[in-house]
Structure 1
Amino acid sequence: MSGSLAIAGREFPWFDDRLLADELTSRSVEVDFVDWRSPDFEPADYDAVYVSSTWNLRQDPDGFLDWLARCEADGRQRLINDAPVLREGVIKSIYLTAMAERFGEDDKPEGSITPSRFYSLMGEAEHNTRPAAGTSLSDITAGLDESPEWQGRDLVLKPIVSADGHDTYIVVRSGALPAVRPEHVLDLTGADEAFEGIVQAPGGYGAIVQCYQRGIEAGEYSLVFLGGAFSHGILKPPGFRSSDTSQRRALDPAEIPPAMLGFAQAIIDWAATRYGEGAVTRARIDLIKGEHGPVLCEFECVEPNTNLRSFDEAARASIVPGYADAILARMAQLRHHSGG
């Protein structure tokens, strides 16, 4: 037996999780699928807990963060990815601020971070949020427009803790309507109401305001990294909030712009410095083509869809063993850390 692993997700296992579990089981790993919300789950029964498809965490982010703490309450490190990675991945304002400080928000050939600002009702220094009580998005944009990179730009408005485009909108200010469905578009009056609802939502962590990147209308590159190395990538179809997985296309590595792949690897290397070597076992990096270079949309480390459905059976057969290798390598590191 090579150890025991709990793959934590929803009530029903995800397609990609089943493929991974089959591969690990063939290598003598005892694998169980667990619902992170189940009161019967005992983390101490497992050598490692792999957080994989917990897409419903946005409904109870505090409960999820408490669950992460419970997974290691006995003092043994067993979470994959590591606990600090998962916590900051839930509260996106933390890692996006740190990334902006490292890579900058100015569109440049080597890559940049989407310009983002964060607001909560009272402001939380720990989460890098500014106070929103007594103000409106209209007031905020008036201040942002003092900077050339924000002036007159369309905006994206969404919750700090979000998933699958929930409560995500484009705020049109440029007069040029983006190529998106009308229900995703707000004028500034409608955006004021949506912003207020997001920052006042019970149990919420606040709102993200970002510059809308028109490069999304040409498609989004989703690059998956396993064990710190590039594994595979897909191209999402053009459009904002394009969640139709059937339209995603598997990419040949040669189709990925070298600057984009290089920037993604630089982000993975930054994460190893920030969180520790081996702390990020699986990540998905979503990027678009900016005017001058790649622009980061999302660094997903909590429950990234690895998009294996987009590949044919032969391609999956070459990807999944590497996926299992990365999990097994981290399990071995965790056993070493615990003295096991």
Structure 2
Amino acid sequence: MTTTTRVGLATCSALPALHDDDRPLLDALARRGAEAEAVVWDDPDVDWAAYDLVVVRSTWDYSPRRDEFVAWARSVPRLANPADAIAWNTDKGYMRVLEDAGVPVIPTIWLDPERHLSKRAVHTRMPAFGDFVVKPVVSAGAKDTGRYQPVSARSRALAIMHAKDLLDSGRAVMIQPYVTSVDTSGETCLVFVDGEPQHAVRKSALLTGPSRDDVPAYLREEMEPARADDEQVAVATRALEVASRELGLTRPLLYARVDLVTREDGTPTVIELELTEPSLWLQHADRAGTLDAFADAIVERAR
């Protein structure tokens, strides 16, 4: 008697049938003899132990409930990527680890809510020149993130209000210079499976102004296939090596995405390291074979 490999693809209640980009995984896994299904991560009726492997995909509602999400990840018997990676990666403080290891990252000013900073104290920590970004340390997509101009008194006031509102709600804050190459070249996002680079896409700029309450939870991103150069691949690979060492991993992560921008001096720079629930943009990867590589890796780990 043969036993069918069962794979759970974790998603959120807003996308119970998975995001469009992930649905091809269902057929790809079926062709390999695996029974895969979309499962909402916070559904209390799910028996997670019934799956040979659970792969986090479009769980994009986790950020307001990060502690609950991490506790869920720790409760899943067989999870890829591991719960420790999810706990580490869902707090953007991981950027400090990358920076300390010499990986080029966006320079960041960190504001801690426990310091109870005044508006004036927040003001003095904001850049005097060049557009800058204010965002929470725990967030998904561009939610609660805004772009501001220091030369505009109104824009600067909105930035201070944005940062204070986040701090007053108990959320740590990041302030970063806005990398202007994003407006012309976008971000280059490299997708890895089992530690190997698979394909890249170019993502257009999302931030055009201050944070707004009416920003949807899942912004539609504009992207196109791209080709990463050797220097970009080297920086992305280095970032993943640092993450693996920090987490004490003995094998590569099942999946990862490294988002890069280009500094004025041409240096590829990490703006985001996505190890939790990144879009892999499989529809842009037919020639690169990412879907097949991903399905093969899932089945191998589920055995």
What band does the TM-score fall into relative to the shorter chain?
0.7 to 0.9
Query: Partner of 2:214 in structure 1?
Result: none
5+ residue gaps, structure 1, are 73-77, 105-111, 123-130, 145-149, 176-184, 333-340
1:272 offset after TM fit, Å? Answer: 2.4
Aligned residues: 286
- Residue 154 (str. 1) matches residue 131 (str. 2): yes
TM-score w.r.t. length of structure 1: 0.77
Structure 1 residue 196: deviation in Å?
A: 1.4
Report the RMSD for the aligned CA atoms in angstroms: 2.4
Checking the alignment, whether the CA contact within 8 Å between 2:106 and 2:176 is kept in structure 1 is yes
Written as runs of structure 1 = structure 2, the 5 A alignment for 1:64-143 is: 64-72=69-77, 78-93=78-93, 95-103=94-102, 112-122=104-114, 131=115, 133-136=116-119, 138-140=120-122, 142-143=124-125
Alpha-carbon distance in structure 2 between the residues aligned to 1:40 and 1:186: 49
Q: Is the 8 A contact 1:4 1:47 kept in 2?
A: yes
What is the one-letter code of the residue matched to 1:21? L
The offset of 1:114, in angstroms, is 0.6
Q: Which amino acid aligns with 1:288?
A: V
Query: What corresponds to 1:288 in structure 2?
Result: 261
CA shift digits 1:193-232 (9 cap, x unpaired) = 111111223xx54211112211211211111011001011
Aligned to 2:225: 250
Judging changes above 3 Å, is the alpha-carbon distance between structure 1 residues 238 and 35 closer, same or farther for their aligned structure 2 residues?
Answer: closer
| 80-89 vs 279-288, which moves further | 279-288
Name 1:191's counterpart in structure 2.
159
Equivalent-residue separation in structure 2 for 1:199 and 1:327 (angstroms): 40
CA–CA distance in 2 between the matches of 1:199 and 1:250? 38
Contact 2:123–2:160 (CA under 8 A) maintained in structure 1: no
Local SS of the residue matching 1:99: helix
State the match for 2:201 in structure 1.
234
The one-letter code of the counterpart of 2:68 is: G
Contact 1:2 1:27 in 2 (8 A): no
Distance 1:152 1:199 in 2: 23
- Distance in 2 (alpha carbons) for counterparts of 1:39 and 1:236: 35
Equivalent position of 2:292 in the other structure: 321
Maintained 8 Å contact 1:8/1:53: yes
User: 1:208 and 1:41 mapped to 2: Cα distance?
Assistant: 36
* Separation in 2, partners of 1:215, 1:3: 45
Amino acid at match of 2:30: T
Q: List runs of 5+ in structure 2 lacking aligned partners.
A: 210-218
Preserved contact between residue 85 and residue 279 of structure 1 (Cα < 8 Å):
no
How big is the shift at 1:241?
6.5
The question of whether the paired residues in 1 share the 8 Å contact of 2:147 and 2:208 is answered with no
Q: What's the CA shift for 1:240?
A: 3.0
- Report if aligned partners of 1:234, 1:249 keep a CA contact under 8 Å in 2: yes
Q: C-alpha displacement at 1:239, in angstroms?
A: 5.5
Cα shift readout 1:266-288 (whole Å, capped 9, x = no counterpart): 11222222221335211111111
> Does the 8 Å contact 1:217/1:240 carry over to 2?
no
CA contact (8 A) 2:122 2:164 kept: no
Whether the aligned pair in 2 keeps the contact of 1:160 and 1:207 (CA below 8 Å) is: yes
Q: TM-score, normalised on structure 2?
A: 0.86
2:46 matched residue in structure 1: 41
Shift of 1:305: 0.5
Identity among equivalent pairs (%): 24
Q: What does the per-residue CA deviation read over 1:125-158, in whole Å, with 9 as the maximum and x for residues that have no partner?
A: xxxxxx3x1423x5245357xxxxx653432101
Task: Summarize the Cα distance change of 1:325–1:119 in structure 2 as closer, same or farther, 3 Å threshold.
Answer: same
Q: Is the 8 A contact 1:228 1:280 kept in 2?
A: yes
